[in-house]
Amino acid sequence: MRLLSRILRPRLEATAHCDLPCGVYDPAQARIEAESIKAIQEKYQANEDPEFRERAVLIKEQRSELVKHHLWVLWTDYFKPPHFEKYPELHDLFNRATKAAGASGTKGSMDPAKGQELLDLIASIDKIFWETKQG
């Protein structure tokens, strides 16, 4: 039995700080959706057609949910305790960013300034994310 367990035991142990190998997580997914939101908000402001506006609101709300999803994945799956120790502002930053994509932010507003606020918060997360990838 010992011989069998020695033969079958792993020869190499691999560890990772995230659930999947690096390269899977990227704030770019949230940024692309947020750029779409801001563009929709701008087009909404420039168009008086009620049908266009109704579609714009629907699509913008869907994109806002996608932003929240992508941010939550980063917050809960990629970032680990050592990151939060090194960057103590991360929890607050993610909280503000997900709220900026929510009902009091882009999901509930057609104001492009709300879209820019969301993009600015994602840019801050992106900066920290790439710093963590360096070390």
CATH classification of the domain holding 89: 1.20.120.400
Classify residue 68: in a domain, yes or no: yes
> What contacts 24+ positions apart, CB below 8 Å, involve 55-62?
56/110, 57/110, 60/106, 60/107, 60/110, 61/107
| Residue at 126 is within a domain | yes
Which residue from 83, 74, 91, 84 is spatially nearest to 24, judged by alpha carbons? 74
Q: CA nearest 55: which of 44, 70, 68, 71?
A: 44
Q: What is the mean pLDDT of residues 97-109?
A: 97
Does residue 10 form part of some domain?
no
| pTM given for the model | 0.83
What total number of domains does the chain contain?
1
Q: Does some domain include residue 5?
A: no
For residue 118, tell me if it sits in a domain.
yes
Q: What is the mean pLDDT of residues 115-135?
A: 95
For the stretch 53-84, pLDDT in tens is 999 999 999 999 999 999 999 999 999 999 99
For residue 43, the enclosing domain spans 25-134
